[in-house]
Amino acid sequence: MILSTKGRYGLKAIFELALNYGLGPVSLKKISDKYDISESYLEQLFAKLKKGGFIDTVRGPQGGYMLAKRPDEITVGMVLRTLEGEITTSECINKEVCSRESICATRVIFEKIENSINDVIDNITLADMYEERKTILTEE
């Protein structure tokens, strides 16, 4: 399973808002320049994240985007599901009943992989990412 650019870029962009939490709005240009993501693509991602209740916009010359919730209230899973939809290892896992479920040798493995992924992304917040980044930067 590979996340699309929506998930990868969206997580980077919202993390930038977490880095600036409490410091005021962040412009799309700043995020675009830092991560080399087009402003128009960021606008599309931020529209979804705004609709999901994770970011707010501030209009005006000093405007931009900011988190609508504290970084410790937003998990990686929330962001990824907002941008990507449900994250799954196999389409058969999403179906309530599979005609081959009783003889499928891989379904149990796919379920375990999916559960492990969900456990990780649902237990890492933007605040956790910030702390991890701080640790990495101090070790360098």
pTM of the model: 0.86
Where would I find the beta strands (DSSP E) of 74-124? none
Write out pLDDT tens, residues 42-100.
999 999 999 999 999 999 888 899 999 999 999 999 999 999 988 877 777 666 666 66
Residues sharing a CB contact under 8 Å with residue 131, sequence separation 6 or more, in sequence order: none
Asked if residue 56 lies in contact with residue 66, where contact means CB atoms within 8 angstroms, the answer is yes
Domains by residue range for the chain, with CATH: 5-139 (1.10.10.10)
- From the number of C-beta atoms within 10 Å of its C-beta (0-12, 13-18, 19+), residue 62 rates as exposed
Asked if residue 133 lies in contact with residue 22, where contact means CB atoms within 8 angstroms, the answer is no
